[in-house]
Amino acid sequence: MSTQVTGTTGAVDAGRPAPAAPAAASVTTSTKVAPAIARSWLLVPGTADRLADRIRSSSADVVVVDLEDGVAPDRKGEARRALAAAVAELDRAGIAERPWVRIADAASDEWRADVALLRGRDLAAGVVLAKVEAAGHVRRTLDGLGGAASLPLVALVESALGVESALEIASAPGVTRLAFGSGDFRLDTGAADDPMALLYARSRLVSTSRAAGLPGPVDGPTVARDAAVLAEASRHAASVGLTGRLCLREEQVGAVHQAMSPSTAEIAWALGVLETIERSGIRDGSDLPRLARARGVCDAAESFGLDLAVAPATSAYAD
């Protein structure tokens, strides 16, 4: 029986595991990727130098101006003013694009000021709400911003309570995606910085996202600067079913894109499936999940600006 795979990497058929480090197809950097399928979410502190330049020059799918943990407590006001100034600079340059903004959790003192900054102003494309533990945190935030239709919201789940409430959170009106705050989750639970120790939490967010009809969740960042550690962590996240990652530095974006994008082998497999089914039709029930998966791979490749022409002419899909 064929096994359908969640996400954009990993094995594409039972009995045919993907290699440990598949080669990604070449990417055209000008492609605009929708937040629903965005692979890289680059956190840039609101107090960073040249904030507007960092927003417009990043190769990340989504840039998130951080007003939360990336900013020292005594510089929160400075970060809010810097966000407004950066957006004004973008406007003067004729750039309509807006960053996403990570705001404080709904139970914190800073939350009210963050929401007041964004309410009714064209400063953000969306909101990443920190430390979400209940659907009520989402409702309160969206009400404060002007209603569920005001801004799309990514719920950042960072605690044991948040993980266990993940389905309720994912089902809340206005939530467009879940994200995993792995660092704070480890602090809350005492879990080690080890893939197996965090597997349950990651898998639960994947499962609840699917149950709520949301895209795959966004994984927490890799703190280490070791490129091999980043690549392995990104491949593991993708294998579990997460489809994006938070990034702390611009140089992490490329490795995340490679891990979260279809490989040339997957594209070849997908093209082979589509070609065979077009030629022979649906032969039995096992073709249906293959067909859905193949279409998903090709849709992702197109959305990410991948060059399908680099895929081999043949695949392992059997006639």
Shared domain check, 128 and 18:
no
Shared domain check, 169 and 140:
yes
pLDDT of residue 147: 82
Q: Where are the beta strands (DSSP E) in the chain?
A: 40-45, 62-66, 100-103, 126-129, 153-157, 175-180, 218-219, 244-247
| Cβ atoms within 10 Å, residue 128 | 28
* Count of the separate structural domains present in the chain: 2
Which residues form the domain of 159? 35-260
Shared domain check, 289 and 175:
no
pLDDT of residue 136: 97
pTM: predicted TM-score of the whole model, two decimal places: 0.85
Shared domain check, 318 and 220:
no
Domain limit, last residue, from 226, 241, 260: 260
Shared domain check, 311 and 175:
no
Supply the CATH number for residue 91's domain.
Answer: 3.20.20.60
pLDDT of residue 22: 47
Distance, CA of 174 to CA of 150 (rounded, Å): 9
Comparison of pLDDT for 209 and 281, the residue scoring more: 209
What end-to-end distance do the CA atoms of the chain give, in Å? 15
pLDDT of 28 higher than 80? no
pLDDT of residue 313: 53
pLDDT over 90, % of the chain: 78
pLDDT of residue 149: 75
CA pseudo-torsion sign 33, 39, 44, 49: negative
Q: In a 3-state reduction of DSSP, which class is residue 94? A: coil
Largest interatomic CA distance in the chain: 66
Question: What backbone phi and psi angles, to 5 degrees, belong to 306?
Answer: -75, 150
pLDDT of 49 higher than 60? yes
pLDDT of residue 312: 59
Shared domain check, 312 and 184:
no
pLDDT of residue 177: 98
Quick one: average pLDDT of 90-101?
96
Shared domain check, 256 and 271:
no
Shared domain check, 99 and 77:
yes
> What is the per-residue pLDDT across 263-313, written as a single tens digit (0 to 9) for each?
889 999 999 999 999 998 988 888 899 999 999 899 999 989 887 776 555
Shared domain check, 162 and 142:
yes
Shared domain check, 77 and 146:
yes
pLDDT of 209 higher than 50? yes
Domain limit, last residue, from 238, 260, 282: 260
Please state whether beta strands 126-129 and 40-45 pair in parallel, antiparallel, or not at all (unpaired): unpaired
Residue 112 Rama label (left phi>0; alpha psi -120 to 50; beta):
alpha
pLDDT of residue 311: 58
Name the least confident of 141-150, 199-208, 226-235. 141-150
SS (H, E, C) 228-278: HHHHHHHHHHHHHCCCEEEECCHHHHHHHHHHHCCEHHHHHHHHHHHHHHH
Name the one residue in this structure whose structure tokens are 């799918």. 61
Across the chain, mean pLDDT equals: 88
CB-based contacts of 313, cutoff 8 Å, min separation 6: 268
Shared domain check, 178 and 129:
yes
Domain limit, last residue, from 216, 237, 260: 260
pLDDT of 21 higher than 90? no
pLDDT of 214 higher than 50? yes
Confidence of residue 8 (pLDDT cuts 50, 70, 90): very low
Quick one: average pLDDT of 198-220?
98
Shared domain check, 112 and 131:
yes
